[in-house]
A and B are shown apart, each in its own frame.
Chain A
Amino acid sequence: MALTLRKQYWKTLISLGSKAYPLRPDIPIRPNRRTMDNLEERFLATSVQAANLTETAEKVEDDRNVEKVIEGPVNELAQEPGEFLENPSQEAFKKRISRQFNVLQKWQGEVQSVERAEKEFVAVTRDLEDESRSDENVTFSFDEVPKADWSLILPGAVFYWSVGYEQDEMGTVYGKSLVRFRRLPPWSDREIQRIKEEARRLKEYFGRKSGESGTERAL
């Protein structure tokens, strides 16, 4: 028995492995220009037929009528895995649905103290969206930090904390918190040399001069 249009549609998409799923089978499809050229004509033909199908599907109650129109090209499409399909006719699907993280709030944090036994640390966080807000003490668990950053959790270390909602490729939305520590190149020999040179100049200029007792400079 021939599959219904809906089942055929899903079988095609799954076999193609497309990341962009038009969610309604009556929506016409047409090929992506970046895909193989030799399929383009057939895709175009399919999209024309599919466009006709949109109008037809609304009038036809019997799926079998619709199958006759689309069965051939859809079966051919099913032979070509890995192709990417776009559906430009619908505004919502003009772009590929990709993972998105919508940040609602962001802070810069500085670690104050670390309790490795309890796997937590306390940090002072500064609101990056609104400087007028007070800084806050926040206690974090190590589990909120990627394991690759655990070695960076030290007093004085700076990190960025973002919270918001993430949407994956399927359109599912999750609440998300992201803590990433600032990674800077370590002190280089050249930098240390420059620092020592500058420090020597500062001390020579401002340091206590020999022979000064410190009692004769009162206001």
Chain B
Amino acid sequence: MAPHLGGSPPGPNELEVSLFGPGVGESIVLHLGGGDWIVVDSCRPKSGDPPIALSYLEALGSPVATALKGLIVSHWHDDHTKGAADILRKAVNAKVFCSDALNEDAFFEAIAASENPAMDRSGIDEFREIFSILRERDRGRSHAGSVGPEWVRANQILYQRTEGYGAPCEIRALSPSSGSHSLSLNEIGQLIRPGKEKRRFVSLEPNDTCVALLVRMGSARILLGSDLENGSNPKTGWKAILEDGLRPKEKSHIYKVAHHGSENADDKRIWTELLEQGPIAIITTFAKGKKPLPSKEDLRRIKSNGGAVYCTPKPDIDAWKPSRRLGSIERLTSRVDRKRTRINRGMGHLRIRAKADETPPQFRVEVLDPASQL
């Protein structure tokens, strides 16, 4: 079974937001009219599979090389970057966007360090591939570095079309704020020191460097929260966005819930000041680690804001049981592991479409199992 909803591609004046999530990882594919596509983050159905965004676009018959206009990598965590380099290889005309908060020595050192075999599968190695591809493309051009990446800050416009295909269209970054300086990069910097043991990069600090986006097409508006969290600094994260006097004041109809619905990525003011009443909330799960997200409390809190809530895949904890192995292996492992849960449950797909010229926009939601409405 294909890991995505097939069918016909969206019409030339039709907006589409497709959210993919396999258990750990997420990818968003946006259609902004006229056959123009943007991909935000990347993941694979399984290790070794092509990135889901590519598979989906190819299944719809879209010529990736010309139709994919931009690849936005909202932050460096591997659940949002897997396969991004493969997308860029095929999308030869796409621009790459990433957070300006990564434009730091520690990040470039992490990329250089990721060449070491000890740092395999660290997530940052995907960025190394991306930079390698960009450098290849840059060869022969008069201005070095002219193919990107574009370093994104709050209130920067990444994509804009003033007319055509039913309605004007715009993608604007809401973060990172100028105050974001990546505590997580400090963590990385501490790992790469003489005498320190080599370890993979694992971020433990709140993520305030992500690129959160506001997408507008006609009267429809979508807030994509990435993994943006609230740290202790009020000049970063969601607090900075809410206090930003320059941000657009229109409220969004669809919200890709930040950081898998976790409590420290939530703020009551997001639901009252950035979103319409009863928005469509779409969430991806994060099944790694001790506390999978979203928890039952997270879902209760999100649902209390009203509106339809969808999740990919289903966050049902009982369904995360690992698949059975040989009896002898089960007996041996049951004596060791205190608790074992499966991470990947198969790729779920949520697709939302609306005509750009409808006011108010009429959203049509399609769901592919294991995604579901909660």
Contact = CB atoms under 8 A, between A and B. Distances in A.
A209 interface: yes
If over half of B's interface residues share one DSSP class (helix, strand or loop), that class is named, otherwise mixed; here it is loop
A141 B326 CA distance: 23
A110 B192 CA distance: 18
A157 B201 CA distance: 9
B333 A214 contact: no
B339 interface: yes
Given A144-B336, A192-B194, A206-B145, A136 B341 contact: yes
Interface in B76-132: 95, 100, 103, 105, 108-109, 111-113, 115-116, 118, 121-122, 131
B112 A177 contact: no
A188 to B, nearest CB: 7
Given A113-B290, A137-B340, A218 B157 contact: yes
Interface residues of A, number: 63
B357 to A, nearest CB: 22
B204 interface: yes
A51 interface: no
Contacts of A189: 194
Contacts of A155: 199, 202, 204
A111 B204 CA distance: 12
Contacts of B135: 205
A54 interface: no
A136 B47 contact: no
Interface residues of B, number: 76
Contacts of A34: none
Interface string A101-129: 00011000011110100001010101000
A68 interface: no
13 contacts: A112-B290, A113-B289, A122-B290, A134-B343, A156-B200, A157-B200, A186-B198, A203-B108, A205-B135, A205-B144, A207-B151, A214-B151, A218-B158
Interface of B: 23-24, 46-48, 69-70, 95, 100, 103, 105, 108-109, 111-113, 115-116, 118, 121-122, 131, 134-135, 144-145, 148-153, 155-160, 191-202, 204, 287-290, 292, 322-323, 325-326, 328-329, 331-333, 335-345
